[in-house]
Structures are given as C-alpha cells and as structure tokens.
Chains A and B, each alone.
Chain A
Amino acid sequence: MLDTKGYPNRLGLRGWVGGGRWGLERYLYTLHRLTGLGLLVYFLLHIIVTSARAFGAAAWDASMARVTGPVFVAGEYLVFAAFVFHAANGVRLALVELGWAIGRPIEPVYPYRTSVDEQRPLAVGVLIVAALLAVVGGLDFFVLH
C-alpha cells in the first residue's frame, strides 16, 4: 500500500473564482454564495440596528440617524441587487435541482452537449430578469426618491 506524505493541493477559495477559464454557471455559483453571505451579514446588522427600538424612542432615532446618507442608500441598493440576483438564481437552482431544464441522459457523442448547455437559456433568462429588476430598483432608489 502506497503511503507517502502528499503535498496539499486543494484550491480553496481560489477554486470559487477560477482563472477566467471557467463557465458562466461557475460564476453564478460564486456570486450566489457571495450574495447569500452578504444578505446574511445585512440581516445581522439589520437586527442589531433595529433592536435599538427596545431601548426607547431616543435610541431608535439615534440608531436611524447613524444609517442615513448617500453611502447607506448605495449600500441598501447593493443589498437589494444582491437579493434580486439571489432570488432569481435561487429559482433557477430549485428548478435544476428538481431535474427540470437539464434534459434527459443522452449517449455522449463528441462534441458533448451537457445539461449545462440545456439549462443555459434558463440561466440567461434569470440574469435578464435580475438585471431588469435591479434597474427598476435603481430608479426607485436613486431617481424617484
């Protein structure tokens, strides 16, 4: 039995990003994770900020005063954009993980056509929907208000 001390070669977080040689869905995978983590951080901050209400109206007003201004509006818009992408891509993932939009198994004949190619229209559609919603949200954040 071979027993050597191998050198660790796990890509780690570099494996999420890759070197530009990966496909669209890999970047959607990474973006889905990053937006998910971003939304989680936002929810934690949201709970901390709004919990000031438990200490009275003055504490609430002071807390709200700290999170106003253009920087926080831009930040909130980023949260909104992250939510839009995460939700739309989540619908795609739910569909794909239930076996929809990926096609049936086929005999592999070169050049291979994979399930990733089958669901590509769905992925592109999701990006379009997310972009449209982000634009509409941007109008609301920066123009109408």
Chain B
Amino acid sequence: MNAPARVTFRIRRFDPVRQSPPSWEDFEIPAVAGMTVLDGLRTIKETLAPTLAWRSSCRMGVCGSCGMFINGHPRLACNTQIAELGSGPVTVAPLPNFDTIRDLVPDLRPMFDKHAALSPYIIRDDHDEMYEPTGEYGQTPEELEEFLQFTYCIKCGCCMAACPTCATDPVYSGPMPLGQAHRYNADSRDGGFTTRKTALAGDQGPWRCHYAGECSRACPKGVDPARAIQLMKRQLVFDYLRLYSQPCPAGVVTPAPASARRPDVPEAPAPTVDVSRARTSPSC
C-alpha cells in the first residue's frame, strides 16, 4: 500500500507549565514510503514544532520507550507505519491510564513501582551460589518454554493503556507487573512463589483481571500477559486448595563429562569458577 503524498498528524499537546487542559494540534507533513509514526514525529519536531516532546530511543521496537495511543490504540510509534493506519489523519496521544508529563510523555513510574513490588527477579535461599556462582542452574527446554514467552516484555506500558480494569482502578497492578510476576513464578530456577503470593493477594492482584484480553492484543512483542495472569490464577487456586506445591528450585548442574574434541576447534579458556561443587538449593 502506498502512503499518501502528505499526511496530517493530529497530536495531543500538554504543557505542564501552563497546566491548561490538553489540546489537539494538527500538523501536515510530507509522507514517504515506509514512514513510521516516530519518523513523522521527528519531522514535525524538526520543521514545525520544536517544543514537541515524546520519549523514544532505539527506533526498532526493542527499548519500549515510544508507546503511544495511535489512532485509538496503544502501539509503539517506531513499529507503526503510517501506511498501515489507513487514510485520514494520524491521531497521536500519550498512553492513557498514566498521567501525562508533557505532550506524548506518560508518567510510567506507577507501573514500575507496581512491577518492583512483585519481586520480579529470581528468589532463592542459596545466597552463596547466587552471588558467587559455581555453575549454571539446570533447566530443560520444556521448563524454559513455561516462561520464555513472558521474558520478551519490554515494559512499554501498551498493555496497561489497553486494560479496561486499569482504566478505572488505580490500585490494580495491571498486566505488565502481573505478567512479569508469573514469568518468575513459572521459572524452574525460582523459589519465590510464596513471597510473591503475599504481594499478589488483594485488589492489586490478578483477581481484578476479568480477561478482556486487550493487553495481549496490544502487546507489540507477543508477550501475552493475559495468558500469564490466567496461569498465575490457576497456580494460586491450586495452591489455595493445597493441590500445588512449588518444586525445589533447579540446582547447579554438574558439567558434562569430557569428550573427544574436534581438532579444528580451539580449546575453551580455563574456567574461572570451580564447577565441581555441584549442589542443589540447601532448603531442599
């Protein structure tokens, strides 16, 4: 599909100094094939509105900085070509369900605070091994698949902007923090389910999710936080019914026995840690 020769951007502006309500401003710029919304914003800033503010960095859908409400849907500006938005003006607003700092810059701090409150990291009690590792924690490909999808999250906030519960409930943690909590709950190397379970109880937890599914549709990385939240609910229900007990976290694997090396492959450098002290988590 060819982009039109010129395209109109309708951008929601907000000046924190004036504190007047946000207003819409139109900008018409030349359109080129392959132009993304982020390209358009840069053109507008360079030629028409030098005070226009937004947040972006990598320009390739990796950093998660440029989440915006584009034509009524949360998307990454760098990942959205204007040609795919059809005819008519391209409307760009800051991500909803976050306060607006300026123009297209949302205040993501509440999301990151909720994320941090759910302990999104590996929790184990073998602190010596954690901080002075002697080897790798063993994990099968099947165990990896249980959480791999959820590791692709780039914390852009698109899911939070799409969630109808987040639209009315400021207490609810939201899809990103909850999805990431399950990412660690489902990790066979982790032993933190009991710790997170306490933080997941109450109105901030997954029970405020009623599966509108919008977070998964909006996610630009295919992370599917709705699936993670439902799987977390199953885990919590089974735990409540005493039908689930978290298995012991994966232990350190013993190195594979030495085998004949191909003569054309150089030797690996000598290990810098002692991998012979294989052991499992001391609590198991």
Contact of B213 among A103, A108, A110, A114 (CB under 8 A): A114
Interface size class on chain A is 35 or more
Q: Is the CB of B213 within 8 A of A97?
A: no
Interface pick from A7-15, A47-55, A135-143: A7-15
Q: Which of A83-113 contact B (CB under 8 A)?
A: 93, 96-99, 102-110, 112
Q: State whether A107 touches B167 (Cβ < 8 A).
A: no
Contact of A105 among B163, B217, B224 (CB under 8 A): B224
Shortest Cβ distance from A67 into chain B, in angstroms?
32
- Contact status B152-A108, CB under 8 Å: yes
Closest CB in chain B relative to A87 CB, distance in Å: 15
C-alpha gap A2/B102 in the complex (Å): 12
Does B101 lie within 8 Å of A29, measured CB to CB? no
Q: A7 with B22: in contact, given A97-B233, A105-B145 (CB under 8 Å)?
A: yes
Q: Is the CB of B214 within 8 A of A23?
A: yes
Contact of A23 among B152, B163, B168, B213 (CB under 8 A): B213
Given the known A-B contacts A98-B237, A108-B224, are A26 and B213 also in contact in the complex, defined by CB atoms under 8 Å?
yes
Is residue B97 contacting chain A, with contact meaning CB distance below 8 A? yes
Instruction: Contact check, B100 vs A9: say whether CB atoms are below 8 A apart.
Output: yes
Closest CB in chain A relative to B181 CB, distance in Å: 15
Tell whether A97 pairs with B234 under 8 Å between CB atoms, given A4-B101, A110-B222, A115-B213.
yes
Q: Which residues of B contact A110 (CB under 8 A)?
A: 222
| Given A105-B149, A114-B224, A5-B19 contact (CB < 8 Å) | yes
State A105–B227 Cα separation when bound (angstroms): 8
Q: Does any Cβ of B come within 8 Å of A72's Cβ?
A: no
A63 within 8 A of B: no
Which residues of A approach B to under 8 Å, CB–CB? 2, 4-16, 18-19, 21-23, 25-26, 28-30, 32-33, 93, 96-99, 102-110, 112, 114-116
7 nearest A-B residue pairs (beta carbon): A15-B167, A108-B222, A6-B99, A112-B222, A115-B227, A99-B234, A116-B213
Chain B residues in contact with chain A, CB under 8 A? 14, 16, 19, 21-22, 71-73, 94-102, 106-107, 145-150, 152, 162-164, 166-168, 170, 186, 210-214, 216-217, 219, 221-224, 226-228, 230-231, 233-234, 237
Pull 18 A–B residue pairs with CB atoms less than 8 Å apart, ordered by A: A4-B16, A6-B101, A11-B96, A13-B168, A14-B167, A15-B97, A21-B72, A23-B217, A25-B213, A97-B230, A97-B233, A97-B234, A98-B230, A104-B145, A106-B145, A108-B224, A114-B226, A115-B226
